[in-house]
Structure 1
Amino acid sequence: MTEHSEERALFVISVAAELAEMHPQSLRQYDRLGLVKPSRAPGRSRRYSQRDIDKLREIQKLSRDGISLEGIRRIMQLENQVLALQHRVAELTIERDAALEKVQYDQSVWAASTSGEVVRLPRGSRPPGPAPRPKSRALMLYRPRRGPGQAED
């Protein structure tokens, strides 16, 4: 299975620091705080992906705006929760649509054919047989009967 290029760990800490315009010690601190979690090479050296670089830039922007590292950690945690919930909503929407499709399929129309045989029909269709009689074009008015004590209009 190939990883997305955005998630592949390509950069050593010095290159990642340069790309994010930070000091390497800041990257180590953010790793310790759990703000960025780079992968580790066999020798335990950090390897940063493009996604990690983007996160570092976002951390730097929020820090410049005066948000503390704990505030940044909480913001990132909430953003991750929102993404997870959006993903779950998408999954549930797909499940709902599939269930509705199944329900619509299961709501079959059953009819008796001209030979008396019970047949399943798609919704909106008629059983095979003689053509229906043309409907009258006469206008019919419905007037409900009035019960005792009801006045006329």
Structure 2
Amino acid sequence: MRIGQLAQLAAVSPKAIRRYEALGLVTPARHPNGYREYDDESVRLVREIRALNRLGIAVEETRPFLECLSSGGEFVDDCPASLAEYRRAIADLTDQIATLTERRDELVRRLRDAAHRNTAAPTVTSTPNLSTLPSDMPEPQDDGAAAHLPGLRMPELTMSDSARARIDLATLGGRRTVLYLYPLTGRPDTDLPDGWDALPGARGCTAEACGFRDHHTDLIAAGADNVFGLSSQSSDYQSEVVNRLRLPFTMLSDPELRLANALSLPTFEVDGTRLYTRLTLIIRNNAIEHVFYPAFPPNQHAEQVLSWLKENPL
């Protein structure tokens, strides 16, 4: 067969085959007129070179494998020299992985330092794209999905918070607890889901958290014994948010949405992930006393809760 046919059968370019020949890895027969003639063995050799190269073994380093075949081996790695080359290639890749991991970790560190550089001071809540809400943000409508909640008992569910404490939702005490549920909090170094701003009620978790932070003392003075945020994000993720935004309260992590399932809470799905719909529960004597749904706009929601607490003193 000619080089073009070999290239097609082995799924490589004629240029690559000529390189293999120059290295002495493939040796075709020569006709008197100078044309190269390849056989089925050439097809196998070229395929083996290509397969080994795709695993990270340089073309020049495939010689021990090909010599294993020429010496009678059924497979390219039947010989000790082939195994030695495997070990060398594995060691080389291990070194590359270590180097790349160090580079990645350094880039992550620099990204977080740069993203958080202007968020450490209490007067600065977050980067503008997270704390500033667009003027045309779509307003969620009350679809009645929370109408059944007032009066329900809180289920016996224990959750981890961002400080690694275990919080039992059924034993929050006789005074009021403000439990605000939110979809997810963005971070400066993490992209939000595509189309997030266009989803009614999705945008604004950072602004909402900062509102509860700034009014935390007033909420306690107005009768709230506890304030918690709750989402399906991990405790590690929430801990970063609590530290970065300097929140005076902790966040509860419910990755399996157990509270949503127990109380039939409204949720929505984005990018294949089920998230909490934003709402706030006022809990007293382990029962739901009042519900804010929909909670909008999120950057003013803490003030709405504070006003309700003042208008409905214990």
What TM-score comes out, normalization by structure 2 length? 0.22
Larger-gyration structure (1/2): 1
Higher RCO structure, 1 or 2 (CA under 8 Å, sep 6+) = 2
What TM-score comes out, normalization by structure 1 length? 0.44
Structure richer in strand, relative to its length: 2
